[in-house]
Amino acid sequence: MNIKNSVTELFKIKYPVIQGGMVWASGWRLASAVSNCGGLGLIGAGSMKPELLREHIKKCKAATALPFGVNIPLMRGDAEDLIKTTIDEGVKIVFTSAGSPAKFIELLKKNGVISTHVAATVKHGIKAENVGCDAIVGEGVEAGGHNGADEITTLCLIPQLVDAVKIPVIAAGGIADGRQIAAAFCLGAKGVQIGTRFAATVESSASDVYKERIAVAKDDATTLAFKKIGLVRMLKTEFALRVLSAENEGVSSEQLKEILGSKREMQGIFNGDEKEGAFEAGQSSGLVKSVLTVKEVFEELITCYDKIKI
């Protein structure tokens, strides 16, 4: 994987492999491990209050001298505080998702932050480019967690995004092995963002139950739930099946919000509660066969990628 391109240059990384920011899984330990392997680690601020984020950034800086970033979901009420904390700590790479980057781009740019936005449609990718983002993550519906309503897959989204924008496109959603990295490059992506494969590593802060469920998952292990109030991809745990059954009976948005309640992600990913928690995970789960260290994952990705000939 001897690649020098717009993504490796932009982030000053060895491999164009970015670890997706994931709630309850990607703290400083995972992010620094990924950066130390030559990829770009991201602290997932989605499950952190500003002061906890500050602590993770400080620990990440102590654990790696290489570039890392922070992922900030903009639907968070305190998104601005998270961004300010990130800037205050001198982090120069921010990935924003789940909302419009327009409101925050000025703040980010005037502080010299490289800004990448996650888009699930061509329209949102173009918007991100127009407001001044430096790169786009095109995230297909294979991805774990929150997804766009149009359910566009990585295979279809990436070439259309690449045709529509000039800034680099990073492919995300469903990618867990080197064959898929090569495929993403064929589609025109200049980098990949990988979530689930890294969520099931030793350095991930997810619970062991969660990691094991990923490791035994088959191709059909995930489902999309909460269509009426915002699509989420998760493993078919007891909780997920309960949601699907309620949706099948035609429950209202209000009822769905009640079923969702709060802290389902923490209960699932962090606590490993299969009965009450949401095990957010990507469709790539079926390709993850064991819990590995981040270093082992990189070795696998690179070895597999380097074998591809077309």
Site residues, its own copies (CB under 8 A): 121-123, 140-142, 150-157, 159-160, 173-175, 177, 179-180, 182-188, 218-220, 223-224, 228, 248-251, 283-284, 286-287, 308, 310
Name the residue nearer to its own copies (CB basis): 52 or 156: 156
Instruction: Indicate the burial class of 192 (C-beta count within 10 angstroms; 0-12, 13-18, 19 or more).
Output: buried
Give the 3-state secondary structure of residue 232.
strand
* AA letter at 157: L
CB of 85 to its own copies, least distance (A): 35
Name the residue nearer to its own copies (CB basis): 29 or 124: 124
Q: Name residue 118's beta-bridge partners.
A: 137
CB of 9 to its own copies, least distance (A): 18
Residue 17 contacts residue 39 (beta carbons within 8 Å): yes
CB of 271 to its own copies, least distance (A): 27
Give the 3-state secondary structure of residue 31.
helix
Name the residue nearer to its own copies (CB basis): 151 or 212: 151
Name the residue nearer to its own copies (CB basis): 37 or 172: 172
| Residues in Cβ contact with 1 at an 8 Å cutoff, skipping those fewer than 6 apart | 15, 178, 181, 301, 302, 305, 306
Place of tokens 């030793």: 202
Name the residue nearer to its own copies (CB basis): 5 or 293: 5
What does the buried/exposed string (b/e) look like for 264-295 if buried means 16 or more CB atoms within 10 Å of the residue's CB? bbbbbbbbbbbeebbbbbbbbbbbbeebbebe
CB of 305 to its own copies, least distance (A): 9
Residue 76 contacts residue 82 (beta carbons within 8 Å): yes
CB of 113 to its own copies, least distance (A): 28
Name the residue nearer to its own copies (CB basis): 215 or 308: 308
CB of 142 to its own copies, least distance (A): 5
Instruction: Report the C-alpha gap between 172 and 217 in whole angstroms.
Output: 19
